Amino acid sequence: MLEDLKRAVCQANVELAACGLVTLTWGNVSGISQDRKLVVIKPSGVPYDQLQPEHLVVVDLDGQVVEGTLRPSSDTPTHVLLYKHFAGIGGITHTHSRHATMFAQARREIPCLGTTHADHFFGTVPVTRPLTAAEVAAGYERNTGQVIIERFAGLDPRTMPAVLVAGHAPFTWGKDAADSVKNSIALESVAEMAVGTWVLNPQAQLLEEYVLNKHYERKHGPNPEYGQK
Q: Catalytic positions, please?
A: 119, 226
Please give the order of strands across the beta sheet that includes 170-174.
65-67, 57-60, 38-41, 27-32, 91-95, 170-174, 162-164
Residue 71 binds to its own copies (criterion: CB under 8 A)? yes
Contacts of 12 (CB under 8 A, 6+ apart): 29, 31, 91, 93, 177, 178, 180, 181
* DSSP helix, strand, coil percent of the chain (3-state; round to 5): 45, 15, 40
Q: Binder to its own copies among 103, 171, 173, 216 (CB under 8 A)?
A: 103
Of residues 14, 61, 102, 149, which one binds its own copies by CB under 8 A? 102
Alpha carbon distance 151, 156 (integer Å): 11
59: helix, strand or coil: strand
Applying CB under 8 A, which part among 5-13, 83-91, 133-141, 148-156 lies near its own copies?
A: 133-141
Quick note: the x/- pattern for its own copies over 7-36, rule CB under 8 A, is ----------------xx-x----------
Residues making contact with its own copies (CB under 8 A)? 23-24, 26, 43-46, 70-71, 74, 96, 98-99, 101-108, 113-116, 119, 130-131, 133, 136-137, 140, 167-169, 182, 185-186, 189, 192-201, 204-205, 207-208, 210-211, 214, 218, 225-229
